[in-house]
Amino acid sequence: MIDATTRLLIPEAERGAGTIVVVGSINVDLIAHVRRHPLPGETLHGSGGQMLPGGKGANQAVAAARLGGSVHMIGAVGTDPQAAVGRSGLQAAGVGLEGVREVEGPTGLAIVTVAEDGENSIVVIAGANAAVDAAQVTAAREAIGAAAIVVAQGEIPREGIEALPALVTGRFLHNPAPVMELDPAVLLASDPLVVNEHEAALVLAQLDPGASAAERSPEQTAEALRATGIASVVLTLGAQGALVADADGLHAVPAARVTAVDTTGAGDAFIGALAVGLARGDALPVAARLASQVGAFAATGHGAQPSYPQAGQALPPLSEESA
């Protein structure tokens, strides 16, 4: 454990070896299974009640580590008994936890309701994640500066995210989910920016307030984001795969066809796999193909972190390869 003033260092043996640093949330997921999602004011019977490790940051770190990535986590847990649950998946995956603080109060909590069709709804309570501020991020400047890939999301305070671009010397893999108001320079530092269509529209509205409100195709959305000055964009399209926009143009990434059991954390599995591909030197479209397979694999299992594949485990083929 560290406090906000402790320096976090990546071991010398790992420096320059494709290290991934994830700056983000650590939660405990309370899982409820229902036949369908309730209507406003409605009470339904459900099942489950499991408490599983989660949080977008921790999920992405675990996904990357289980695929063989060298991963360090910067985040926070509380002083409650749930802190051990929040850390458990990270520990099991071999993620470096020197950058995880313990702060007074509860660990972050996500209340996840999963319907029979695999779709979920989630309520997130920040808890200790609210302490991942600029001071903690800046205290980890050496680790962040030594990393090949630095990953961030939107479940920590704005000031923590805004401290990152000045410290990153590798690639800043930025997944602004949920989207919040950020200094435009932070969004423009993303390489890649990874968003779904809803998130893409919100980010574009921040960067180009005068942009037309007319409905855009995914290709037009990705190109519009690139036109603001973002070096590369990955637009995730669910069952339709993903779209990569970079200096070489647009690249369609097919989906892997699977029967979804629980989509909780599948997007985070995509991010973790994308980070691994980039850390090992893959071009962004190639890394996105791996990410598409890993995200689909995650949707076939229950929960977030327990559903992620290990390195060497068979992944579902992309749709173009399954004929």
Asked if residue 5 has pLDDT above 70, the reply is no
117-121, 174-178, 255-259: the lowest-pLDDT one = 117-121
What residues pair up with 246 in beta bridges, in sequence order? 249
The answer to whether residue 213 scores a pLDDT higher than 60 is: no
Active site residue 29: no
Task: Concatenate the DSSP letters of all residues of 87-155 into one string.
Answer: HHHHHHHT-EEEEEEE-SSPPEEEEEEE-TTS-EEEEEE-GGGGG--HHHHHHTHHHHHH-SEEEE-SS
CA distance 34 to 46: 5
Least trusted range by pLDDT, from 32-36, 95-99, 134-138, 153-157:
32-36
In the chain, what are the domains? 12-26+55-102+126-321 (3.40.1190.20)
The pLDDT tens digits of the residues spanning 277-287 come to 999 999 999 99
- Residues 102-140 have pLDDT tens digits of 999 999 998 989 898 878 888 889 999 999 999 999 999
Exposed/middle/buried for residue 188 (C-beta within 10 Å: 0-12, 13-18, 19+):
middle
How many CB atoms neighbour CB 212 within 10 A?
A: 9
What is the reported pLDDT for 212? Answer: 65
3 state DSSP class of 58: helix
| pTM score above 0.85 | yes
pLDDT at 295 over 90: yes
pLDDT at residue 13 in the model: 38
Task: Please say if the pLDDT value at position 268 is more than 80.
Answer: yes
Q: What is the pLDDT of residue 41?
A: 94
Residue 265, token pair as written in the block:
């954390």
Token duo for residue 69: 């990535």
* Percent above pLDDT 90 for the chain: 78
Q: Can you tell me the mean pLDDT for 70-99?
A: 97
| Residue in 117, 262, 268, 282 annotated catalytic | 268
